[in-house]
């Protein structure tokens, strides 16, 4: 077994090691993106699934308003999917660099949390795409339909005919009714950013049990203290949910409820771990 003196590296050797690890991670990312480019059509269909569910009664098509928007959005989706595909190898490379400076006990702790962390992140993203995203999109689309009335008709015809000298026109009642509300025109780039950003938020939020378990096992906060602070934790979760999600109650609750349940799961796991250690 190598001694501590033998395992020490110079600053230049650390930078060289980091350069190699980053190069390998970047190469894995490019390979993952290349594979995703071949199935980009199916990835775009998966990303548009929440929109299709939310607007099943009045289907909407995504639109572009710039020449390069469709192409750049396609590349962005493939890049994100490639990063997810290559993430195990990329994390392994980063872990190999970081592990050199950790004790064996710390390495075991990190390895123990790594797989549950990835699993919870993926679970959070899937939960958002399948459950939350259709509800949120449905709320915003129908809000434009239902909350914005047609332009007012008070004195419009008289003013336009006698003051502006505009030739009178008569619109059928069906046409006037169709003018009520806003017609959504969703940009593909903004839609993809909306879905991926909130998916990332839910993935990170689902790390709550691991955060609770880490705080308890490290001794920073006792399990009893976290149990007695439930009301304050719930308040913080509600505030974070209101900040991180769009301004509607449905999406806020959709994030707050799983976060609090995961907090309770973390407390149960931390309490069981504490009993096993004693």
Mean pLDDT value across residues 196-213:
88
pLDDT of residue 275: 61
Q: Which of the 8 DSSP states describes residue 131?
A: I
199 pLDDT more than 60: yes
6 — pLDDT class (breaks 50, 70, 90): very low
Picking from 185, 61, 207, 202, the residue whose alpha carbon sits closest to that of residue 132 is 202
b (16+ CB within 10 A) / e for 224-249: eebeeeeeebeeebbebbbebbeeee
Residue 38 neighbours by CB distance under 10 Å: 9
Q: Over the stretch 230-242, which tens digit does the pLDDT of each residue have?
A: 899 999 988 988 8
251 — pLDDT class (breaks 50, 70, 90): confident
109 pLDDT more than 70: no
pLDDT of residue 274: 62
149 pLDDT more than 80: no
Q: Over the stretch 15-74, which tens digit does the pLDDT of each residue have?
A: 888 889 899 999 999 999 999 999 999 999 999 999 999 988 888 889 999 999 999 999
84 — pLDDT class (breaks 50, 70, 90): confident
Mean pLDDT value across residues 264-269:
89
SS (H, E, C) 176-237: HHHCCCCCCCCEHHHHHHHHHHHHHHHHHHCCHHHHHHHHHHHCCCCHHHHHHCHHHHHHHH
Rounded CA-CA distance 182/141 in Å is: 9
pLDDT of residue 85: 87
pLDDT of residue 174: 43
173 pLDDT more than 50: no
pLDDT of residue 31: 95
pLDDT of residue 96: 76
Query: For the whole model, what pTM was predicted?
Result: 0.76
pLDDT of residue 102: 64
Residue with tokens 């999600």: 245
276 pLDDT more than 60: no
Sequential DSSP letters for 38-106: HTHHHHHHHHHHHHHHHTSSS----B-SSSSHHHHHHHHHHHHHHHHHHHHHHHHHHHHHHHTTS-HHH
């Amino acid at each position: 077994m190598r001694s501590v003196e033998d395992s020490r590296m110079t600053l230049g050797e650390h930078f060289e090691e980091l350069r190699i690890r980053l190069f390998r991670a970047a190469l894995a990312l490019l390979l993952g993106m290349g594979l995703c480019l071949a199935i980009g059509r199916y990835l775009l269909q998966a990303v548009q699934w929440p929109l299709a569910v939310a607007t099943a009664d009045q289907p909407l098509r995504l639109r572009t308003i710039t020449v390069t928007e469709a192409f750049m959005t396609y590349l962005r989706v493939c890049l994100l999917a490639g990063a997810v595909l290559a993430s195990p190898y990329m994390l392994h490379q980063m872990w190999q660099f970081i592990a050199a400076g950790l004790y064996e006990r710390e390495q075991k702790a990190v390895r123990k949390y790594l797989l549950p962390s990835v699993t919870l992140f993926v679970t959070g993203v899937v939960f958002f795409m399948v459950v939350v995203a259709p509800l949120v999109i449905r709320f915003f689309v129908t809000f434009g339909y239902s909350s914005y009335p047609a332009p007012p008709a008070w004195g419009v015809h008289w003013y336009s005919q006698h003051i502006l000298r505009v030739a009178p026109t008569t619109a059928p009642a069906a046409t006037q009714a169709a003018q009520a509300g806003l017609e959504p025109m969703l940009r593909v780039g903004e839609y993809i950013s909306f879905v991926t950003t909130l998916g990332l938020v839910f993935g990170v939020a689902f790390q709550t049990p691991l955060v609770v378990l880490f705080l308890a096992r490290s001794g920073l906060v006792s399990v009893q203290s976290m149990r007695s602070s439930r009301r304050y934790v719930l308040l913080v979760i509600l505030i974070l949910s209101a900040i991180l999600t769009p301004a509607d109650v449905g999406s806020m609750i959709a994030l707050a409820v799983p976060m609090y349940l995961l907090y309770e799961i973390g407390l149960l796991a931390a309490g069981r771990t504490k009993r096993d250690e004693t």
